[in-house]
Structure 1
Amino acid sequence: MDGNGRWAQQRGLPRIEGHRRGVETVRRVIDSSREFGVRMLTLYAFSAENWRRPQDEVGALMGLLELYLKRELQTFVKNRIRLRTIGRTQELPAGARRQLQHTIEATQGFEDYTLTLALNYGSRGEVVDAARAYAAALAAGEVAPDDCSWESFSRHLYTAGLPDPDLVIRTSGETRLSNFLLLQAAYAEFVFTPVLWPDFGKDDLAQALAEYARRERRYGKTSEQCRATEHAQQH
Structure 2
Amino acid sequence: MAKREIPLGEGVLYGLYQNRIRRWLSHQELPKHVAMILDGNRRWAKQRLLETAAHGHRAGAAKFREFLIWCDDLGISVATLYLLSTDNLTGRDPEELDELFQIIGDLAEDLSHFRNWRVQHVGSHDGLPADLLATLAAAEKRTEHNTGLHINLAVGYGGRREIADAMRSIVKKHGDEGGTLDALAEILTPELIGDHLYTGGQPDPDLVIRTSGEQRLSDFMLWQSAHSEFYFVEALGPDLREVDFLRALRDYARRQRRYGS
The equivalent residue for 1:9 is 46
Would the alpha carbon gap of residues 142 and 21 (structure 1) be closer, same or farther in structure 2, given more than 3 Å must change?
A: farther
1:66 aligns with 2:105: yes
1:24 aligns with 2:82: no
The equivalent residue for 1:49 is 87
1:98 aligned to which of 112, 134, 147: 134
* Paired letter, 1:159: T
In 2, are the aligned partners of 1:23 and 1:68 still within 8 Å (CA)? Answer: yes
The equivalent residue for 2:208 is 168
Q: Could you list the per-position Cα deviations for residues 173-198 of structure 1 after superposition, in whole angstroms to 9, with x for gaps in the alignment?
A: 10000000111100000001111100
* Paired letter, 1:58: L
Post-superposition shift, 1:106?
Answer: 0.7
The equivalent residue for 1:125 is 161
The equivalent residue for 2:71 is 33
* Paired letter, 1:185: S
Three-state SS of the structure 1 residue aligned to 2:216 is coil
TM-score (norm 2): 0.80
In 1, are the aligned partners of 2:84 and 2:156 still within 8 Å (CA)? Answer: yes
Q: Could you list the per-position Cα deviations for residues 129-155 of structure 1 after superposition, in whole angstroms to 9, with x for gaps in the alignment?
A: 111111122323377432221111222
Three-state SS of the structure 2 residue aligned to 1:120 is strand
1:85 aligned to which of 97, 121, 143: 121
The equivalent residue for 2:187 is 147
Would the alpha carbon gap of residues 114 and 142 (structure 1) be closer, same or farther in structure 2, given more than 3 Å must change?
A: farther
CA RMSD of aligned residues (A): 1.5
Three-state SS of the structure 1 residue aligned to 2:112 is helix
Post-superposition shift, 1:120?
Answer: 0.4
Q: Could you list the per-position Cα deviations for residues 3-38 of structure 1 after superposition, in whole angstroms to 9, with x for gaps in the alignment?
A: 000001111112111111111101110111111221
Would the alpha carbon gap of residues 156 and 72 (structure 1) be closer, same or farther in structure 2, given more than 3 Å must change?
A: closer
1:116 aligned to which of 122, 143, 152: 152
In the alignment of these two chains, the number of paired residues is 218
TM-score (norm 1): 0.88
The equivalent residue for 1:225 is none
Three-state SS of the structure 1 residue aligned to 2:204 is coil
User: Which one has a larger percent helix, Structure 1 or Structure 2?
Assistant: 1
Q: Could you list the per-position Cα deviations for residues 83-120 of structure 1 after superposition, in whole angstroms to 9, with x for gaps in the alignment?
A: 01111035411111111111110100012210001000
Structure 1 stretches of 4+ with a deviation exceeding 4 A read none
Q: Distance in 2 between matches of 1:90 and 1:200?
A: 31
Three-state SS of the structure 2 residue aligned to 1:20 is helix
Residues 195-206 of structure 1 mapped to structure 2, 5 A cutoff: 195-206=235-246
In 2, are the aligned partners of 1:42 and 1:117 still within 8 Å (CA)? Answer: yes
- Structure 2 portions without partners, runs of 5+: 1-37
Post-superposition shift, 1:209?
Answer: 0.6
Aligned-pair identity (%): 38
In 2, are the aligned partners of 1:90 and 1:97 still within 8 Å (CA)? Answer: no
Three-state SS of the structure 2 residue aligned to 1:190 is strand
